[in-house]
A and B are shown apart, each in its own frame.
Chain A
Amino acid sequence: MRPAAWMTNSPKPYESVLVANRGEIAVRILKALRECGLRGIAIHNDIDRDGMHLEYADNVEHLRGEDLMSTYLSTEAIINAARRTGADAIHPGYGFLSERADFAKAVLESGLIWIGPPPEAIRLMGDKIRARESMIKAQVPVIPGRSISISDGEDPLPQLAAAAAEVGYPLLLKASAGGGGKGMRVVNEPKLLRTEYQAASREATAAFGNGTVYVESLLGGARHIEIQIFADSHGNVIHLNERDCSLQRRHQKVIEEAPSPAVDPELRKKMGIAAIQAARAVNYEGAGTVEFLLSPQKEFYFLEMNTRLQVEHPVTELVTGLDLVHMQLMAAAGIELQLSQDEVSLSGHAMEARIYAEDPSTGFLPSIGPIARFDTPVGPGVRVDSGVRKGDEVTTSFDPMLAKIIVHAPDRDSAIQRLDQALSETILHGVKSNIEFCREILNTETFRGPGVTTDYLEGRPPNQIQNEISTGLIEIIATAAERFGLNKSKGALLDNQDNHSGHEYDPFTTLTKRFP
């Protein structure tokens, strides 16, 4: 083993890391590994042979199978891949196995370094009911709620009704093992309690293998404010300010920013201290996020802790000037935090839009197809974290989030302008996306003014986008494109060359793909 120079004197030096993920986060981590002088190992399954992340790996391991269960979600397959490639450490990214305590434990037990928090912290925070209890003990404020326990075949209604009577309507049914909006349902009136419970429980079973659901009061007009924390193995815990992720659709975050327009320095300090208390209560290590709901009266309540790197981590990186993945790599080597709380800066304003493959005009149904064109913006203060490129195929096999467009500017107004401009330069053809929907939101008075609350998009009609130029201009352009034979000459030029992707629309990208 030849660890990178920067960690030669560390307690747990390592040389190579297997990234147990795909898409934009795998790309992000593999790039960081190269930058840090570490060997990056990527995995893929049968339908992901051309995944963009493989381009950034020094080694590639094929996990046999098409389904996630036997590949990206298989502890055994991943640990075997680590053994075969001589990996010293595993980074889980987000999603997949990142918050499975059993996986973290299995990684550690097989003698590998786990780039993440201790398995016990994951287990505790992953069980939303137990997490609530430990937060109450640590004096972190929690949302009024009640747990229920429904056995197989039991009528859930009596228990549900009792819990509902206690927390009141509207209420939220939440998967105990949940996250990302899966297994979560809003109930506005008693007669929908049973059907929504069944839907939540089914979704939770499908997504997390655990159908346990609990009942929580739905706070109206609240904002989703989360605090990024970081802890090392020497007992140091700091917070890296908040992110405002109030703009959500069906509990999926769409636009995130830092700092929050609703948080002043005093509140930031209070929430930061609460987040540190939460992390300390579970002996946390590494990067983590403590999510809070902030009421219109500026009271905050613990929502959950995500024991991993977040999708929206770049906005924190831009306003603090820190690299969270580098910090994770250092913490995993046992190196003490180089930064005290007072040294954490907050400079300018950062904002991120998530590009999803979904069609706003059909009520945001997932959209699939070949990526015929993907132009991404460049310029001062613009960052793109993407997991796809031209020539890739978007399928329903994986998460619909394709990329993130992130901007940094001196203040909130200029960040909104910059993100709007960056999104106007983001052109995706072949798959429908929410790009124009994001721009529409950015240009609303509410967003530009005080910012939004988490229920902002709920009451909004799904298709407000005026997507019709009535002059026939588009049809004229299409006719001209057809008559001039646009896009044809390129294809013809390369017809005889190796085009193993089987896509006729773009042989170019497949030619430039290189696999180690």
Chain B
Amino acid sequence: MKWKSDNSDKVWSVRLLMDGGRASVAQLKCGDETIQSNVTITYDKQSDNIYVNEDGNKLNPKISKVGDSWWITVSGQTFVVNKVLHNSKSTIEDQGGLTAPMPGIVRQVKVDIGQKVRKGQPLMVLEAMKMEHQIIAPQAGKIEVIHYHEGERVEMGSVLISISE
């Protein structure tokens, strides 16, 4: 199975050797690089818990499934790992647009269609929870489409503005 965690660009692939309620690592790869791992896992059906043994250290991770992601807390740190499906790439680049980082209301549009913008230029002001957030140009380019206008409500992930290079 292939995974990518929220705060990292690396893609990991894991193959496990299953043996009843126990599992050991058959293959672990980070990108194309194979990494050695002595981690073993036991599953306790009664409590629906997983226990980890890493080089003699026993860990008791707290795990939840939310949508297609796993939320895993180990030693007080929480990670979110997402299953990588085949041929899925970053949507922002594919659509050539800027997406809303959160749901909210468009307060101000600072650019016009056809306008040339530089990298880092504020394009739009979004408001959520009564706080304002600036939408910034990720690269220099020309404004092709403005998908939302002042006063309109946007959902998280909505494409707000399309920029061509």
Using a CB–CB distance below 8 Å, which chain A residues touch chain B? 181-182, 199, 202-203, 206-207, 250, 361-362, 365-366, 368-370, 372-373, 375, 396, 399-400, 423-424, 427-430, 432, 435-436, 439, 467-484, 486-487, 489-490, 505
Contact = CB atoms under 8 A, between A and B. Distances in A.
Interface string B17-56: 0100101010010100001010101010100101010100
28 contacts: A365-B102, A366-B128, A368-B102, A372-B64, A372-B65, A372-B71, A373-B64, A396-B102, A396-B103, A396-B128, A424-B76, A427-B62, A428-B78, A436-B77, A469-B74, A471-B54, A473-B74, A476-B37, A477-B50, A478-B81, A480-B23, A480-B50, A482-B1, A487-B48, A487-B64, A490-B48, A505-B65, A505-B66
A206 B130 contact: yes
Contacts of B5: 468, 474-475
Contact of B65 (A365, A467, A477, A481): A481
A475 B69 CA distance: 11
A468 B80 CA distance: 11
B130 A182 contact: yes
Contacts of B35: 471-472
Contacts of B133: 365
- 10 nearest interchain CB pairs? A429-B71, A424-B76, A429-B64, A475-B12, A372-B64, A479-B14, A484-B43, A475-B3, A480-B41, A478-B70
A483 B25 CA distance: 13
A209 B50 CA distance: 52
Judged by DSSP, the binding face of B is strand
Nearest to B52: A477
Given A202-B132, A483-B23, A489-B45, 6 more contacts: A396-B129, A477-B74, A478-B1, A478-B72, A482-B1, A483-B16
A479 B1 contact: yes
Interface residues of B, number: 59
B78 A436 contact: yes
Contacts of B74: 469, 473-474, 477
B7 interface: yes
Contacts of B48: 486-487, 489-490
B14 A368 contact: no
Interface string B91-105: 000000000011110
Of B25, B28, B54, B63, which is in contact with the most chain A CB atoms at under 10 Å from its CB?
Answer: B63
A505 B65 CA distance: 7
Contacts of A428: 78
B102 to A, nearest CB: 5
A203 B132 contact: yes
Interface string B75-94: 01111110100000000000
Contacts of B1: 478-479, 482
Nearest to B15: A479
Contacts of B54: 471, 473
B63 to A, nearest CB: 5
Contacts of B64: 372-373, 429-430, 487, 505
A427 B3 CA distance: 22
B141 interface: no
A484 B19 CA distance: 11
A484 B77 CA distance: 23
B112 interface: no
A114 B90 CA distance: 54
Given A399-B129, A428-B78, A474-B79, A481 B66 contact: no
A362 B131 CA distance: 15
B73 interface: yes
Contacts of B28: 472, 475-476
B142 interface: no
Contacts of A199: 125, 132
A511 to B, nearest CB: 17
A473 B6 contact: no
B120 to A, nearest CB: 14
Contact of A362 (B43, B76, B101): B101
